Amino acid sequence: MAIHNDLGNRGEELAVAYLIKKGYSILERNYRFRKSEIDIVAKKNEVLIAVEVKTRSSNYFGNPEDFINKKKIQLLIYGMDNYIHEHDLDIEVQFDIISVLKEKETYKIEHIEDAFLFF
């Protein structure tokens, strides 16, 4: 597996551990629907949360969350809409970003709650 894939997988593992520690229930990992993928589907306080995890080895070109573009947001919304229909849910939805930045041998985690809204 490529080194960047290892880093991404490590970032997702750290994000899951972080969310569990904060009281979130993890419902799914890497949920896919057509071209959409949601890294983590979680639930907390009767809110369904789609979590996009971005992991980088440096912030030389920008912070990890800076790499989420309009197309990715549209795909997240599309995937979450399908998840809701597939599971016949009537629940509030939130979109979060977890940014993981590797700093030497440690990782800095930033959780951006309600990162964007949709209508």
Which tens digit of pLDDT belongs to each residue from 1-56? 455 567 767 888 989 999 999 999 999 999 999 999 999 999 999 999 999 998 77
Instruction: Give the β-pairing of 25-33 and 106-112.
Output: unpaired
Within a domain: 73: yes
Structural domain tally of the chain? 1
Distance CA 104, CA 95 (A): 29
For residues 101-111, b (16+ Cβ closer than 10 Å) or e, as one string? bbeeeebebee
What's the predicted TM-score (pTM) here? 0.84
pLDDT tens digits, one per residue of 65-87: 666 778 888 899 999 999 999 99
Within a domain: 118: no
CATH number at residue 77: 3.40.1350.10
